[in-house]
Amino acid sequence: MKAKELIPYIPDIDTFKRYGRVKRVVGLMIESQGPECSIGDVCWIRVISQKKTRKIQAEVVGFKEESVMLMPYASINEIAPGSLVEATGQTLEVRMGHQLIGSVVDSLGQPMDGGVLPKGLSAIPTEQSPPNPLSRPPIEEPLEVGVRPIDSLLTVGKGQRIGIFAGSGVGKSTLLGMIARNTKADVNVIALIGERGREVREFIERDLGPEGLKKTIVVAATSDQPALMRIKGAFTATAIAEYFRDKGMNVMFMMDSVTRVAMAQREVGLAVGEPPATRGYTPSVFAILPKLLERTGTNEFGSITAFYTVLVDGDDMNEPIADTVRGILDGHLVLDRNLANKGQFPAINILKSVSRLMNHLASEEHQKAAERIRDLLSTYLNSEDLINIGAYKRGASREIDEAIDFYPKIISFLKQKTNEAISMDEAIQSLIQLADEGDWA
């Protein structure tokens, strides 16, 4: 850059450093007198540990009278009254590039294996605005996920956002692993938010496997980390997906789970002083969800197809977070505990699940076959109690007789082993054959 080109930028350079001092720590909230800063800015808190000075990263989350409210990204055990607080004047950024594909990073973008970041990475802000609605191309192309019930009966498009709603222990992580291994997307970005520490490695080694990890970046923020780190894990993973989308790639994004992001935001909101609104969730929870979920999808460069898991408390599909997320996304898959107990995996309840874009993505023949299978399944389940107790006599209804004959074949069609890879064309042809003849094997 020439000297003349530098001149307009010189007045914009801030040559001052701004400092404050810690006044009080209450729970996870740090109050400081100064420095001059804005909401979302990152600050450094200098602490003395064993006669050595080190810095703890924290973020400005609010103001109270003339005090700055900070929340740390790490433990606050060594912070004391009078600790120096240094403002950076910048929001959180992480470094990203193609070299990180195949690695596991934390909420700040640092390798979790203790290694160093490769050279040549670009700095990207973790918080960005969703794409302009008018710049989003319509979703017109299906995306193969390699799971037969989804590809055939709940077809997903490139850039669609789907919620996976389930209680604990019904197979969410296993289903995410199947999608990550079998999908035809260019790259996977997986956010593990609020997981048990044991489950992170198990997911990577068992559910994802070496083949899945080769084209995946995993962002992990375990349940023992501060609430702010769990929130930042979700925003960092979304920013990584956006980075690859802006490079023109088709990205498969998965977050497990949105509920734990909401719970972390509730912790922050209550600490700042927000009033609990709906079932203890603060207003900021319902403000942050659309800002986070709307960032995925299509833009003029590429697409992010997103799967968000939602933990439904007591299998209640109408609890506040599930209800809010379902209204934002483009479809939902419901994992049914009763199906899991019967040994049907993936335990997707086809009749309670919906892909809002399937009618735009599937051929007329494909749609008719899917409707036929849904009708047969619905007819059988509506009469299941009568059938099981022997109250139904064959010949009383032609539709029920047909549903009884087809039911075992439909259940066999909906089952898929975790290590079984099935192409989308195979899934659709099997569906059409089953709907027409019932000869699927």
3-state secondary structure the chain: CCHHHHHHHHHHCCCCCCEEEEEEEECCEEEEECCCCCCCCEEEEEEEECCEEEEEEEEEEEEECCEEEEEECCCCCCCCCCCEEEECCCCCEEEECHHHCCCEECCCCCECCCCCCCCCCEEEECCCCCCCHHHCCCCCCECCCCCHHHHHHCCCECCCEEEEEECCCCCHHHHHHHHHHHCCCCEEEEEEEEECHHHHHHHHHHHHHHHHHCCEEEEEEECCCCHHHHHHHHHHHHHHHHHHHCCCCEEEEEEECHHHHHHHHHHHHHHHCCCCCECCECHHHHHHHHHHHCCCEECCCCEEEEEEEEECHHHCCCCHHHHHHHHHCCEEEEECHHHHHCCCCCCECCCCCEECCHHHHCCHHHHHHHHHHHHHHHHHHHCHHHHHCCCCCCCCCHHHHHHHHHHHHHHHHHCCCCCCCCCHHHHHHHHHHHHHCCCCC
- Give the pLDDT of residue 257: 86
Given a cut of 90, whether residue 407 has pLDDT beyond it is: yes
Domain that holds residue 270: 94-358
Least confident piece of the model among 29-33, 166-170, 426-430: 166-170
Rounded average pLDDT over 350-359: 95
Counting the structural domains of the chain, the total is 3
Q: Is residue 275 part of a domain?
A: yes
Q: What is the CATH number of the domain that holds 378?
A: 1.20.1270.330
Instruction: Examine the domain organization and report whether 176 and 51 are in the same domain.
Output: no
In a domain, 395, yes or no: yes
Q: Which of 91, 111, 134 is the last residue of a domain?
A: 91
Last residue of a domain, one of 44, 71, 91: 91
Residues 48 and 172 in one domain: no
Residues 336 and 265 in one domain: yes
Domain membership flag for residue 331: yes
Lowest mean pLDDT segment, chosen from 96-110, 166-180, 247-261: 166-180
Residue 440 predicted with pLDDT over 60: no
pLDDT, tens digit (0-9, with 9 covering 90-100), for 123-165: 999 999 999 999 999 999 999 999 999 999 999 999 999 999 9
| Mean pLDDT along residues 255-277 | 91
Q: Is the pLDDT of residue 439 over 80?
A: no
Residues 151, 167, single domain; the answer is: yes
Q: Which of 327, 358, 389 is the last residue of a domain?
A: 358
Q: What is the pLDDT of residues 178-230, one digit of tens each?
A: 999 999 899 999 999 998 888 899 999 988 888 889 999 999 999 999 999 99
